Amino acid sequence: MKFGILVNEGPYQHQASDSAYQFTKSALDKGHEIHRVFFYHDGVHNGSRLTTPPQDDRHITKRWTALAEEHDLDLVVCIAAAQRRGIVDADEMKRHGKDANNIAPGFHISGLGQLIEAGIEADRLVTFGD
């Protein structure tokens, strides 16, 4: 089965990102396909390169980066939600005259159209939120 994954909450604040990760990992282990993981609302914060969670617990962002690298996943952060919340890549930094960028490796910023496309292309779109 081909899945689209939607993550609507930020790391640690809600279980959503953890659940999405565990589901995605299990689906891949069972041989399913993950078309895209789309991060919306506060979910965009999963794509911040600057987090320093306590070392004795899971590093949510790095875990996504590692999974994406292992399985060639498409991790997309919504541009509108990212702008609103300050998740910035090199292009956005230039475009909006910011003095820094903070997007984590493996994540990239794109439009809401990518979410709709995932809904169209996947057999199931699974949402993880609050």
Partner 1 sequence: MEDEEYTGGVVKKFAYVNRRAPYGSIYALEALEVVLVGAAFDQDVSVVFMDDGVYQLKKGQDTSGVGMKNFSPAYRALEMYDVEKLYVEKESLQARGLTEEQLIVPVEVLSRDEIGELMEQQDVIFSF
One-letter amino acid for residue 64 of the chain: W
Nearest to 4 by CA among 119, 106, 111: 119
Does 2 interact with partner 1 (rule: CB under 8 A)? no
CA 125 to chain centre: 14
Closer of 68 and 122 to partner 1 (Cβ): 122
State the number of binding residues for partner 1 (CB under 8 A).
Answer: 18
Query: Coil, strand, or helix at residue 11?
Result: coil
Q: Of the candidates 2, 18, 62, 112, which one interacts with partner 1 according to CB under 8 A?
A: 112
Does 36 interact with partner 1 (rule: CB under 8 A)? no
CA 109 to chain centre: 9
What letter would DSSP give residue 104? P
Q: Of the candidates 81, 82, 103, 104, which one interacts with partner 1 according to CB under 8 A?
A: 81
Does 5 interact with partner 1 (rule: CB under 8 A)? no
Q: Of the candidates 16, 88, 103, 125, which one interacts with partner 1 according to CB under 8 A?
A: 125
What letter would DSSP give residue 48? B
CB of 79 to partner 1, least distance (A): 8
Q: 54 to each of 12, 37, 57, 117, 121, how far by Cα in Å?
A: 11, 25, 6, 36, 38
**HSE, side-chain direction, 13 A CA sphere, residue 29:** 7
Binders of partner 1 among residues 49 to 78 (CB under 8 A) are none
Catalytic residues: 78
Applying CB under 8 A, the residues found at the interface with partner 1 are 6, 40-41, 80-81, 84, 111-113, 115-117, 119-121, 125, 127, 129
